[in-house]
Amino acid sequence: MDSLNPAAGPVVYPRASGDLDSPRKPLRRALFFALGFLGAFAIGYYVYRYLDGKPLRSANTILSIFGLAILPAFWWADRGRHGRLTAVLTFVLATMTIAGVLTNMERHIFHDRRPMYWNAFHYILATKYFDEVGYLDLYRAAALADDEMNKVFQANNGTIRDMRLYKRVPIRRQIVEARRDGLKDRFTPERWEEFKRDLDSMLIKRSAKFWGGPINDRGFNPSPAWLVLHRPLLNVYPFHKEWGIKDLTDASSWMLLAVVVAFWWALGLRYALFATLWFTVYFGNYGKILGTYFGYDWFVYFAFFFALAAKGWWKSGAPFLAYSGMMRGFTGMAAFPAAFRWLWDAVRHRAIPRQGTGYLVAVGVCCVLLLGLGSMTQRGTGAWSEWIEKISVHSEHHPTGVKRIGLKYLFANEYTSGEWEDSHRVMKRRLKEMKPVYRAVSFTLIALTLLAAIRRDPLDATILFLPLVFFSLVISRYYLSVGVVLLAWRSLDRGHGLGQLASAMWVFAIPVFYYLYNPGVDTARRTWWWVNVMLLVYCVAVVANFLVRDAADLYRAAKLSGEAPEQSDDEDLAVAA
């Protein structure tokens, strides 16, 4: 079987006589012992940490190392066709995956199902009251409402982010400006009291120190289509009650279970287990998986698209890709490599395959429908203009954050000391100086990625969207959750699967490095710089591998055509006759 994708069917490996045909029993016993010890140690460590009341984040270190170690064990077992060993490895992998899920659910399940109020503040309030606050005035409206209640935001005499200036300012100044601008007048009296009630139901759940974080964040970013879909529910649901917000966030979080089922159905149990393990131990997801209000719906629908595409049901997957892309933007880039591949076929053969035509048309139609849906607010099509403006400003400032993913982050990052605002200024200056170099490197790598896509099958071409995103955008850390598809590479090495094995091990090596590096406040930027270096190495290696293989195939084809025997004139006449 394929070392990472059993659903791909049997693979016949060239085999030599000797140990490959019949591995020595001592080696097999040693492998069983090592894996059993590793699994028992990891589970015991997890139980010990929980019973001792210590945080379980460090358990992810053990689980990441386990994922890295068991990959070559699967490869070795598949290469020797050891069915019993493969079954045992699958059982151990399933056990460790469950441990990974429990580790990351611990914060939510064992702490009274506590919702993530940072997420709820943005996604629930901004969605329900979008007609009044839009994309820019949630923080000002919240500060003004709180000033009429308990003044929680002002407890530390802190700051608030002015979304128009996109910088932190004194909170009292924002309250004065909100009154001067008549922000409260956008609400009806009943609507204003309802807004205050909903806000207060969240404020009383966390400390004043905590709330200094959300009001200094970077705003609400989902598209108008997302909020139009969710607003009818939020307008009637009593999430201000004690049980309301907990049930609401629980329901949206359990959608992730459907992803495991979809991957199992489309790509096999082993891939589903590896993908789930990586998703749960990935440091960008820690503490975020459960307790959010549809914080990962874009990921769920992208996973559905990928599962259907893996089955060859491209048109059926198109609505899911369109939804995911229109909600978060960057996942929509998954349509580009396959589209480029099909357009290349059209240029060469003057026809796009029926599969490609139906898929691209379906994606386009769904995007148009979602555009129309997003215009069904009081702001009409202006909601999209406001969103584009908001995202443009957000993208300009986003690379200067700490926990970012993207090639641009490598050019913007510079080790600094002192206050965060000083660091942002240094990074902006650095990025401005390096912009010509970044653009040249980015354009070159994007062009090479698209070039690598033209000779791929559509699924492999689609997976190339990850290098495409890395080379062109800067995304938040949890958006790299789509990295689970990196484990689906099927064609890096069609011989012994060494390329596939190396790529999957590199994917697990990234969280291993992160946890072992033990990042702190002083090392955060340096840690994320190295994480991006590892991602750059991976993306470049994948693209280069494809291009080298394509060049080798073209060279062999040219050599074979050049060595073909020439026909004599008599043979030409005979053929013509």
With CA atoms as reference, report the closest residue to 106 among 337, 334, 346, 291: 291
* Least confident segment among 311-315, 409-413, 434-438, 560-564: 560-564
pLDDT exceeds 80 at position 24: no
SS3 170: strand
pLDDT exceeds 60 at position 416: no
Beta bridge partners of 160: 169
Instruction: State the pLDDT confidence band at 29, using cuts at 50, 70 and 90.
Output: low
Q: What average pLDDT does the chain have?
A: 80
At 367-393, the pLDDT tens digits run 999 999 999 988 888 899 999 888 888
The answer to whether residues 127 and 221 touch, using CB atoms and an 8 Å cutoff, is no
Look at residue 577 in the predicted model and tell me its pLDDT.
Answer: 33
φ, ψ at 167 (rounded to 5°) = -145, 165
CA 384 from centroid of its chain's CA atoms: 24
Supply the DSSP symbol for 108. H
The Cα 152–Cα 421 span in angstroms is 24
The Cα 501–Cα 552 span in angstroms is 21
CB count within 10 Å of CB 403 equals 16
Taking the alpha carbons at both ends of the chain, their separation in whole angstroms is: 51
The answer to whether residues 205 and 107 touch, using CB atoms and an 8 Å cutoff, is no
CA 2 from centroid of its chain's CA atoms: 25
Beta bridge partners of 476: 404
Look at residue 82 in the predicted model and tell me its pLDDT.
Answer: 73
Distances (CA, A) of 225 to 230, 295, 297, 318, 328: 9, 15, 13, 17, 10
Look at residue 309 in the predicted model and tell me its pLDDT.
Answer: 93
At 490-544, the pLDDT tens digits run 644 444 567 778 888 888 989 888 887 765 555 577 788 889 999 999 999 989 9
Alpha helices in 254-381 (DSSP H): 256-267, 269-281, 297-310, 314-328, 335-349, 354-374
Which sign does the torsion angle of CA 391, 392, 397, 398 carry?
positive
CA dihedral 282, 286, 290, 293 (to 10 degrees): -100
Tracing tokens 């995103």 back to the chain, one arrives at: 469
Look up residue 410 and give its amino acid. L
* Least confident segment among 40-54, 130-144, 290-304: 40-54
The answer to whether residues 282 and 509 touch, using CB atoms and an 8 Å cutoff, is no
* Least confident segment among 206-215, 311-320, 401-410: 401-410
Distances (CA, A) of 413 to 268, 342, 401, 416: 40, 37, 9, 9
Q: Strand 159-162 vs strand 167-170: parallel, antiparallel, or unpaired?
A: antiparallel
At 131-190, the pLDDT tens digits run 999 999 999 999 999 999 988 888 766 889 999 888 889 999 999 999 999 999 999 999
The answer to whether residues 502 and 16 touch, using CB atoms and an 8 Å cutoff, is no
Q: Which long-range contacts (CB under 8 A, 24 or more apart) does 458-462 make?
A: 458/309, 458/314, 458/338, 458/341, 458/342, 458/355, 458/356, 459/309, 459/310, 459/488, 459/490, 460/489, 460/490, 460/491, 461/337, 461/338, 461/340, 461/341, 462/306, 462/309, 462/334, 462/335, 462/337, 462/338
Query: H/E/C letters for each residue in 361-408?
Result: HHHHHHHHHHHHHHCCCCCCCHHHHHHHHHHHHHHHHHHHCCCEECHH
Q: What is the DSSP string of 424-470?
A: HHHHHHHHHHHHHHHHHHHHHHHHHHHHHHTTS-HHHHHHTHHHHHH
The answer to whether residues 454 and 340 touch, using CB atoms and an 8 Å cutoff, is yes
Look up residue 397 and give its amino acid. H
Q: Strand 159-162 vs strand 475-476: parallel, antiparallel, or unpaired?
A: unpaired
SS3 169: strand
Radius of gyration of the chain (CA): 27
pLDDT (average), residues 33-40:
62
